[in-house]
Amino acid sequence: MKFFVDTADIAEIRALAALGMVDGVTTNPSLIAKSGRKITEVIVEICEAVPGPVSAEVTATEFAPMLKEARFLRGLAKNVVVKLPLTMDGLKACKALSDEGVPVNVTLCFSAAQALLAAKAGAAYISPFVGRLDDVGQDGMALIAEIVEIYANYDFGTEVLVASVRNPMHVVQAAKLGADVATLPPAVLRQLFQHPLTDKGLAAFLADWAKTGQSIL
């Protein structure tokens, strides 16, 4: 499974990329707004820091303006993936851009039917939002299972990118189901490293070593 980091904070991205765990980055208008910076500056910096796919989302809601914004964003760097909403105009733009060879991440997916449409439109990635489904009493991971099964049935090339990830269990469950990518907030990615028994075991090892009075170097 590939790990993308879901943030527009360049300092966070650089710190996590140094761990060797970041395969790409996803952004959205809300994350860009939190950065307080121009979208062009942010996207270019992220693309320089991470060689993998960087999703940059359009803000237009109609077909023609979507295409204009998408082509502009794609021109910022060779690893930009255009992010489009799962609407009729969004899927129409997805088809047009995919036909041009532009990779598209279709976002705000909340049903298997929507995911099927995105794959047929040529999306490179589909982003189902598992946490937001959980928030309204639905099973977000059940949606991932449905999409993975449907895509396998028809050998679609669209990658399942699990979004709105809230905790490490979302990541583990998605991996067990065969999802291709999980995009994680920085805090959740760091939580994957943590376990109290690891901390306890390390403390015991160091305490025993200190008693020997030795030094490796």
Average pLDDT along the chain, 217 residues, taken 10 residues at a time? 97 95 96 94 97 98 98 98 98 98 98 98 98 98 98 98 98 98 97 96 97 95
Query: Which of 83, 92, 95, 120 is flagged as catalytic?
Result: 83
Nearest to 31 by CA among 51, 12, 16, 52: 12
Rg over CA atoms, the chain? 20
Q: CATH classification of 2-212, choosing from 3.90.1010.10, 3.20.20.70, 3.90.1150.10, 3.40.50.280?
A: 3.20.20.70
Q: Where are the domains of the chain?
A: 2-212
Model confidence pLDDT, tens digit, residues 78-101: 999 999 999 999 999 999 999 999
Report how far apart the first and last C-alpha atoms of the chain are (Å, whole number).
38
Based on the residue annotation, tell me whether 34 is a catalytic residue of this protein: no
Q: Give the predicted TM-score (pTM) of the model.
A: 0.95
Question: Of 170, 99, 194, 180, which is closest to residue 147 (Cα–Cα)?
Answer: 180
Q: Are strands 2-6 and 24-26 parallel, antiparallel or unpaired?
A: parallel
Q: Give the list of residues 6+ apart from residue 158 with CB closer than 8 angstroms, or none.
A: 115, 118, 119, 122, 123, 124, 125, 126, 151
d(CA 181, CA 174): 8
